[in-house]
Structure 1
């Protein structure tokens, strides 16, 4: 599975954080450094499995019990962002274009 950033989310990475504005809800959020790393990996188009693998590599490579916790937490966090509408399933069909004028 792969997520993509929702089109109505405006974001910027700055000083180890990511700041988000959801135009749909009018809400601002600031992601801490670890959450920002996950957001940036998603923004690169990586799959959820690739984000998990990279995060485990960075933080828990030598401890399998810790790796399982990190993997679960990464998936839960990405699912939470999707639940807020900030991320969308990349394989979801795009909305159909509005009909244009007849030729």
Structure 2
């Protein structure tokens, strides 16, 4: 699954944080360095599985139990942002390229 940033969200990355403004609700929010890292990966179009794997590798590469916790936490955090309307689920599969014809 992919998330994309909701069109009403204005954001800015600065000093290891991401500052968000949701024009729909009028609320401001600041993400800490880890949240900012996740936000930036979403903004690059990374799928949730790839983001979770990257974060598990970065923060818990040597401990499979801790890696599972990181993966769970990443998913919960992104789901939370989606629940706030800051991210939108983009379940559309990318278009397939035509293969060689037989």
TM-score of the superposition, structure 2-length normalised?
A: 0.88
RMSD: 0.8
Q: Which residue of 2 aligns with 1:33?
A: 33
Q: Which residue of 2 aligns with 1:55?
A: 55
Q: Which residue of 1 aligns with 2:24?
A: 24
In the alignment, the residues of structure 2 paired with residue 57 and residue 13 of structure 1 have an alpha-carbon distance, to the nearest angstrom, of 23
Deviations 1:42-100 (A, max 9, x none): 000000001001101110011000000000000000000000000001236xxxxxxxx
Cα distance, 1:3 vs structure 2: 0.2
SS at 1:46 equivalent: coil
SS at 2:52 equivalent: helix
In the alignment, the residues of structure 2 paired with residue 76 and residue 91 of structure 1 have an alpha-carbon distance, to the nearest angstrom, of 17
Q: Which residue of 2 aligns with 1:96?
A: none
Aligned residues: 92
In the alignment, the residues of structure 2 paired with residue 91 and residue 73 of structure 1 have an alpha-carbon distance, to the nearest angstrom, of 21
Give the unaligned 5+ runs of structure 1. Answer: 93-103
In the alignment, the residues of structure 1 paired with residue 53 and residue 70 of structure 2 have an alpha-carbon distance, to the nearest angstrom, of 10
Q: Which residue of 1 aligns with 2:98?
A: none
In the alignment, the residues of structure 1 paired with residue 42 and residue 57 of structure 2 have an alpha-carbon distance, to the nearest angstrom, of 16
In the alignment, the residues of structure 1 paired with residue 90 and residue 11 of structure 2 have an alpha-carbon distance, to the nearest angstrom, of 18
